[in-house]
Amino acid sequence: MLQILLIEDDARIAELTKKGLEEQGFAVTLAYDGLLGRKIAITNTFDIIITDIILPNISGLDLCKEIRSLKPSIPIIMLTALGATDDKIEGFDAGADDYLVKPFELRELVVRIRALLKRTASNSTNAFGFLLKYDDIEMNLHTKIVKRNGKEIALTPKELKLLEYMLKNPERVLSRTEIAEKVWETTFDTGTNFIDVYINYLRKKIDKDFSAKLIHTKPGLGFILKKS
């Protein structure tokens, strides 16, 4: 039985979510504040962690950063009432793998959980020591080290996932919808521009110090990784 840690200070939401997930065959441990959630997360083994952002004692963002530093491979989903682009970016930069805005349907949460667990299992069995390369940029999928022309480039977890997908699909235009589905594993929201924001983040880190640009925008279509 897959083990889930749910960190949520709203007792009603926590209990309803726990009950719904248990009916889907998951084993759920509850924590009602950030400090307790951190203690349970660090001292126990879980398949996935689901946490709210606004928590007593320690924020979900700080909690996510701490868990990610100690257990870098565990999937983390953030549940929050904050739905603006900047809030999502902050959550992803803290190390979250996915982001679900309240109120949400339980079946959507279950879909997100299963997708993340499937992806994590696939990566753990197939990606060990594998190197993705295009032109003078490379990514080690095991160590998560990215280098361009031998120079190491520090990326956030979401920037890494975005670059990984682009490296796996070079010289092909990737639409915003495809990126949302394949990288964020969510439906593209035309009301936000977080994908464009992340492309710009990545472009600044990958292309800024190099004369040859690799990340290009195709107006009205999407983005492409290719030589200038």
Encoded tokens for 88: 């999502």
How many Cβ atoms sit within 10 Å of the Cβ of residue 106?
14
CA distances 194 to 12, 119, 161, 190, Å, are 31, 22, 14, 10
Give the contacts of 209 (CB within 8 A, at least 6 positions apart): 151
Residue 40's pLDDT is: 94
- Pairwise CA distance, residues 220 & 144, whole Å: 31
Most distant CA atoms of the chain, gap in Å: 55
Which residue matches tokens 């793998």? Answer: 97
Residue 190's pLDDT is: 59
Which residue matches tokens 């997100």? Answer: 112
Residue 122's pLDDT is: 52
pTM of the predicted model over 0.85: no
pLDDT tens-place values along the chain, 228 residues long: 789 999 999 999 999 999 999 999 999 999 999 999 999 998 888 889 999 988 988 988 999 999 888 887 788 998 887 766 677 788 888 888 888 888 889 999 999 898 888 776 655 444 444 688 888 899 988 788 999 988 999 999 889 999 999 998 888 999 999 998 888 777 656 557 888 999 999 999 999 888 899 999 999 899 999 987
Which residue matches tokens 């946490």? Answer: 51
Give the contacts of 100 (CB within 8 A, at least 6 positions apart): 77, 78, 79, 80, 108, 109, 112
Which residues in 26-57 are b (16+ Cβ under 10 Å) and which e? bebbbbbbbebbbebbeeeebbbbbbbbebee
Backbone phi, then psi, for 103, in 5-degree steps? -75, 145
- Pairwise CA distance, residues 131 & 55, whole Å: 39
Q: Backbone dihedral region of 135: left (phi > 0), alpha (psi from -120 to 50 degrees) or beta?
A: left
Which residue matches tokens 């993340």? Answer: 116
Q: Does domain 3-125 have CATH number 1.10.287.610?
A: no
Question: Which one-letter amino acid corresponds to residue 38?
Answer: R
Our measurement of the distance from residue 3's CA atom to the centroid of its chain's CA atoms, rounded to an integer in Å, reads 19
Break the chain into its structural domains and give their ranges: 3-125, 129-225
**What CATH number was assigned to the domain covering residues 129-225?**
1.10.10.10
How many Cβ atoms sit within 10 Å of the Cβ of residue 133?
12
The 3-state DSSP composition of the chain as helix, strand, coil percent (nearest 5) reads 45, 20, 35
Residue 84's pLDDT is: 65
Residue 125's pLDDT is: 43
